[in-house]
Amino acid sequence: MKRVGFILKISPDKVQEYKELHRAVWPEMMDALRRNGWSRYSLFMGEDGLLFGYFETPESFGDALERMSKEEVNHKWQELVAPYVDNPNGAHADESMQELVEVFHLD
């Protein structure tokens, strides 16, 4: 199982709205994540909009993103959250995630 950490930046003026969206993630989106190997998925965010995500997947971050890119519900979710991502080129959240390198792990 591959442990994945990533960062993403949410517009500081949209932090509260972004949190609200994630209090009611669509059940079909959660099903798609599970179906495509995303487990133990968590998001953490500072008040400045810096977001850290963690999940576990059978293969790699790239493979997990690729599998989700084939899900229609993911396209709809990405359109919904796009205005919250602090990204000058307008890319969707799943195109803006920066994978982090694991440097330590304690079981």
- Per-domain residue ranges for the chain? 2-100
Class of domain 2-100: alpha beta
* Residue 96 pLDDT: 82
Would you call 25 helix, strand, or coil by DSSP? coil
* Residue 103 pLDDT: 97
pLDDT per residue as tens, the chain (107 positions): 999 999 999 999 999 999 999 999 999 999 999 999 999 999 999 999 999 999 999 999 999 999 999 999 999 999 999 999 987 676 777 888 899 999 999 98
**DSSP class of residue 85?**
B
Catalytic residue among 22, 75, 92, 105: 22
Helix, strand, coil in percent for the chain, rounding step 5: 40, 25, 30
* Residue 88 pLDDT: 66
Residue 22 annotated as catalytic: yes
